[in-house]
Amino acid sequence: MEHIYDAAVVGGGIAGFSAALSLKSLGLDFLWLGETEFGEKVKNCEYVRNYPAFTGDGAAFFETLSRQRVREAIPFTKGRIDGIFRMRETFTLSVSPALYTARTVILCTGVDLKGNIKGERELTGRGVSYCAVCDGALYRGKTVAAVLGSRSLLEDVEYLAGLAATVYLFTPLEVALAHKNVHILRDFPRSIEGEGRVNRIVTDRSSYEVDGVFLLREAIPPETLVGGLRTEGAHVPVDRRMATSLPGLFAAGDVTGPPYQFAKAAGEGLVAAHSVKEYLRTVR
């Protein structure tokens, strides 16, 4: 007979782990699925900021999370979910070639901020950052480049301008900034270079010596995993219970929108787990 879980948690990051921890303490039968345990973002953190009771880099954060997972006996199933389908009262999750069935789903798939500037992937966490609030403080009094792809992230440039000595702002957008240390440039960034750490950004016109590069992009819309789910760009709108437009489907973490921070992801994962418990009580 097919096993039907109370909940399937999709996504191996902090939101997913927090949801799994709470589902376990709530005594529910759940499956936690994802591509990588704790996600790549954890390991890529130069220094984990804004997370209560933890100081250290991404590698140390990963170790702490792994110890907790083992101690709490939370199983993690590796796999890429290629579709989630609602079938009457349950959801079927396709993780080729396997299929899993659950009464509820907590979607914790994050957002993919990576692009294709040469050197970007290799130097992520070594001078390349996607989050001014997370890493800006590392560049106090230094020179940074900001590559701005969306007007909605202009606040991040202002934040950097308040910390760094010089900000080279590469953007095709018309923006107005009062900060004298921000130099707006129309160059097109081609590559980010450095030996082990960022030293320079090379454009179609010139090369600039910098200590860090901030790639300020809106998230790339994720694959539509769930048919019929209401989305807003790259994000899934939720209410305070983390409920989405589909009954029984909840979402948590970066996928619900900014701020993209570990503490928010963890909090939302916990709320989603409690909402699952409440939802199951009402439908059973």
Ligand X SMILES: Cc1cc2nc3c(=O)[nH]c(=O)nc-3n(C[C@H](O)[C@H](O)[C@H](O)COP(=O)(O)OP(=O)(O)OC[C@H]3O[C@@H](n4cnc5c(N)ncnc54)[C@H](O)[C@@H]3O)c2cc1C
Task: Return residues touching ligand X (CB under 6 A).
Answer: 11-16, 34-36, 39, 41, 44-45, 48-51, 80-81, 108-110, 124-125, 129-131, 134, 225, 253-254, 260-263, 265
To the nearest whole angstrom, how small is the minimum distance from the Cβ of residue 277 to ligand X?
20
Give me the residues paired with residue 251 across strands. 107
**Alpha carbon distance 21, 138 (integer Å):** 32
Tokens of 258: 């900014």
To the nearest whole angstrom, how small is the minimum distance from the Cβ of residue 94 to ligand X?
10
Pairing of strands 30-34, 200-203: unpaired
Q: Which is nearer to ligand X, 98 or 283 (CB)?
A: 98
To the nearest whole angstrom, how small is the minimum distance from the Cβ of residue 266 to ligand X?
8
To the nearest whole angstrom, how small is the minimum distance from the Cβ of residue 112 to ligand X?
8
Q: Which is nearer to ligand X, 181 or 231 (CB)?
A: 231
What is the H or E stretch that residue 40 is in?
helix 39-43
Q: Which is nearer to ligand X, 13 or 248 (CB)?
A: 13
Q: Which is nearer to ligand X, 161 or 252 (CB)?
A: 252
Q: Which is nearer to ligand X, 152 or 206 (CB)?
A: 152
DSSP notation for 74-123? ---EE----EEEEETTEEEEEETTEEEEEEEEEE----B-----BTTTTT
To the nearest whole angstrom, how small is the minimum distance from the Cβ of residue 282 to ligand X?
26
Q: Which is nearer to ligand X, 34 or 248 (CB)?
A: 34
To the nearest whole angstrom, how small is the minimum distance from the Cβ of residue 180 to ligand X?
28
**Alpha carbon distance 134, 75 (integer Å):** 30
- Per the CB < 8 A criterion, the answer to whether 114 and 199 are in contact is no
Q: Which is nearer to ligand X, 131 or 185 (CB)?
A: 131
Beta-strand ranges (E) seen in 108-187 are 128-129, 143-148, 166-170, 182-185
- Per the CB < 8 A criterion, the answer to whether 32 and 77 are in contact is yes
Tokens of 110: 């994050």
User: What does the CA dihedral 174, 176, 181, 187 come to, rounded to 10 degrees?
Assistant: 0
To the nearest whole angstrom, how small is the minimum distance from the Cβ of residue 38 to ligand X?
7
